[in-house]
A = this chain, B = another copy of it.
Amino acid sequence: MSQVVLKSITETVVRFSEVDSMAVVWHGNYIKFLEDGREDFGKKFGIGYLDVYHNELMTPIVKISMEYKKPLFYGDTALIETTYIDTDSAKIQFEYKIFRKSDNELIATGESTQVFLNLNRELELTTPPFMEEWKRKMGLLKD
């Protein structure tokens, strides 16, 4: 049985304004890195914010978590590895690994969960048709 793994790699350079007074990237800024990863994933696989929006849906984050293992410093380049985690429920889940590019050190890991809201901000309880179609196209759904 084959397994489809959908993954993107995003490169980002640490900005001066992202570093705090301990001279490392402020932990809250990693949330932007996850978003960078998610957006790149969306562009690569055709499931970006605007694709979703054109289906009259929004996909707000309902859960996010991060573990910080090593610091990133000013001038470091980070690689954000974003992996789609398939689920039967009406959600979008991603796992993230952030590496320092120069030494391939694992800096942080994260997870996010999104749900589908219609434009009245009502929760969609089943996976929307365009998402089912996308999954089929990606080989995540059979028949």
Contacts and interface: CB of A to CB of B under 8 A. Distances in A.
A28 interface: yes
A16 B66 contact: no
Contacts of A61: 27, 68
A120 interface: no
A17 B36 CA distance: 9
A19 interface: yes
Taken together, the copies of this chain in the complex come to: 4
A22 B64 CA distance: 18
A75 B51 CA distance: 12
Given A21-B21, A49-B16, A75-B50, A66 B68 contact: no
Interface of A: 15-17, 19-24, 26-28, 31-32, 35-36, 39, 49-50, 58, 60-69, 71, 74-75, 121
10 contacts: A16-B20, A20-B20, A21-B21, A21-B74, A28-B35, A50-B74, A50-B75, A61-B68, A62-B69, A71-B121
